[in-house]
Structure 1
Amino acid sequence: MNRSLRYLFTCITLFAILATGANLLQAQERPDNLDSLDQILATSGYNGTMIIVNPESGQWLQGAYQNPDETLPPLDIDSAAIPASTFKIFSSLVALQESVVASAETIIPWDGVERSRPEINQDLTLADAFRYSAVPHYQGMVKTVGESRMQHWLDLAEYGNQNLDGGLTTFWLEGDLRITPRQQLTLLQSLNNLSLPFDTNVQQTVKNIMVNREESGVIIRGKTGLAVIGNGMNTGWWVGWTDNGSQIWYFATLLQASQNTMAETPEAQANFITARQAVTDKALRHLEILPPLSQ
Structure 2
Amino acid sequence: MRWIPVFLLSLFLLTAASTPLVPAVVERSFQPQFDQYGVRGSFLLYDEPAGQYVAYNLKRCRQRFLPASTFKIPNTLIGLQTGALPDTATICKWDGMKRSFQQWNQDMSYAQALRVSCVPCYQQLARRIGVARYRQWLPRLGYPGMVVTPATLDTFWLDGKSQISQFEQVNFLRRLQAETLPVEKRHQRAVQQILILKKTAEYTLYGKTGWRFRSARNPDNGWLVGWITRANGRRAFFALNIEPKPGPVNDDQFIASRRAVTEAVLRELKWL
Alpha-carbon distance in structure 2 between the residues aligned to 1:221 and 1:102: 23
Partner of 2:74: 90
**C-alpha deviation, 1:46, in angstroms:** 2.7
> In structure 1, how many angstroms separate the alpha carbons of the residues matched to 2:67 and 2:159?
9
Indicate the residue corresponding to 1:249 in structure 2. Answer: 236
Q: Secondary structure at the match of 1:252?
A: strand
Supply the distance in 2 between the matched residues of 1:217 and 1:170 (Cα, whole angstroms).
39
Query: CA offsets per residue over residues 34-93 of structure 1, 9 Å max, x none?
Result: 13x23323333333000111223214211129xxxxxxxxx6211100000000001000
Identity over aligned pairs, percent = 30
Deviations 1:152-189 (A, max 9, x none): 11122231213125611110011211000000000100
Which position in structure 2 is the counterpart of 1:60?
53
* AA matched with 2:197: N
Structure 2 residue matching 1:212: 3-state secondary structure = strand
Instruction: Classify the secondary structure of the residue corresponding to 1:116.
Output: coil
CA distance in 1, matches of 2:88, 2:98: 24
- Corresponding position of 2:248: 263
Give the Cα–Cα distance (whole angstroms) in 2 for the partners of residues 158 and 107 of structure 1. 28
How far apart are 1:98 and its partner, in Å?
1.0
Matched, 1:285 2:270: no
**Post-superposition CA distance 1:104-126 (Å, at most 9, x none):** 21112222211122322121111
TM-score after normalising by structure 2: 0.84
Mapped contact 2:38–2:244 kept (Cα < 8 A): no
Mapped contact 2:224–2:259 kept (Cα < 8 A): yes
May I ask how many residue pairs the two structures share in their alignment? 245
Aligned to 1:143: 127
Q: 1:46 and 1:118, CA in 2 relative to 1: closer, same or farther beyond 3 A?
A: closer
Q: What CA distance in whole angstroms lies between the structure 1 residues aligned with 2:43 and 2:265?
A: 9
Deviations 1:211-258 (A, max 9, x none): 111244311110000012561421100000011231111110001247
SS of 2:112 mapped into structure 1: helix
CA distance in 1, matches of 2:200, 2:263: 12
Query: Closer, same or farther in 2 for the Cα pair 1:60/1:162, shift >3 Å?
Result: same
Counterpart of 1:201, as a letter, is R
CA RMSD of aligned residues (A): 2.0
> What SS is found at the alignment partner of 1:191?
helix
Structure 2: runs of 5 or more not aligned: 1-23
Larger radius of gyration: 1
Runs of 4+ in 1 over 4 A off after TM superposition: none
Whether the aligned pair in 1 keeps the contact of 2:48 and 2:234 (CA below 8 Å) is: no
**Would you say 1:193 and 2:178 are equivalent positions?**
yes
Higher mean C-alpha deviation, range 148-157 or range 42-51: 42-51
* Structure-2 change in CA distance of 1:57 and 1:152 (3 Å): same
1:161 to 145, 152, 160: 145
SS, match of residue 57 in structure 2: strand
Once the two structures are superposed, the pairs formed by residues 99-178 of structure 1 within 5 Å of their partners are 99-165=83-149, 167-178=152-163
**Matched letter for residue 261 of structure 2:** V
In structure 2, relative to structure 1, the CA distance for the partners of 1:169 and 1:230 (3 Å cut) is: farther
Report the Cα distance in structure 1 between the residues aligned to 2:93 and 2:221, rounded to whole angstroms.
Answer: 28
Find the aligned partners of 2:85 and 2:74 in 1 and give their Cα distance.
14
How far, CA to CA, are the matches of 2:132 and 2:216 in structure 1?
26
The 1:160/1:256 distance shift into structure 2, 3 A limit, reads farther
Q: Which amino acid aligns with 1:115?
A: R
